[in-house]
Every structure is written in structure tokens, then in C-alpha cells.
Amino acid sequence: MTEPKPEKTLGVLQVRDQCYGLLDQVARTGKPVLITRMGKPLVELRPVQSRRVRREIARAKGPRKK
């Protein structure tokens, strides 16, 4: 299976200003985001794909609120 290409590119300052919303967006949509510094690719933010890792993250968050 091929990895999805980033659909969105953001600069470091934009990421700083939108961090929490960006993390939620990537986790919800499953679409990676390319983060750049001075127009050059720096990092790619992508969701966790492994069920085991997602379970561990959910367990670390604690019980779900209703």
C-alpha cells in the first residue's frame, strides 16, 4: 500500500498558530500535512496507522467522556 501524499503544506509559523486544530484534522481525516521552513520541506505530519498504537494512545488519554 502506498503512503498518501500530503494534501496540505503549511509553514512552521502557521503550524505554531494552528497546532491543536491541525493535529485533530490530521487524526480525523487521515491526510498527512507537509510542514515547511522558509519554503523548504521540513517534516510530514501523518496519523498513526497501527491499531496497537492507536489503542495505546487512547488508553493514555483515559476513559472517553460522554
Contacts for 44 with CB less than 8 Å, ≥ 6 apart: 6, 32, 33, 34, 35
The structure's pTM equals 0.61
- Residue 34: the pLDDT is 93
Flag whether pLDDT at 51 surpasses 80. no
CATH code for the structural domain at 8-61? 3.40.1620.10
CB 9 within 8 A of CB 33: yes
Q: How confident is the model at residue 5 (pLDDT cuts 50, 70, 90)?
A: confident
Domain range annotation of the chain: 8-61
pLDDT-based confidence at residue 36 (cuts at 50, 70, 90): very high
Question: Distance (Å, rounded) from C-alpha 21 to C-alpha 40?
Answer: 23
Rounded to an integer, the average pLDDT of 32-36 is 92
DSSP 4-60: PPPSEEEEHHHHHHHHHHHHHHHHHH---EEEEETTEEEEEE-----HHHHHHHHHH
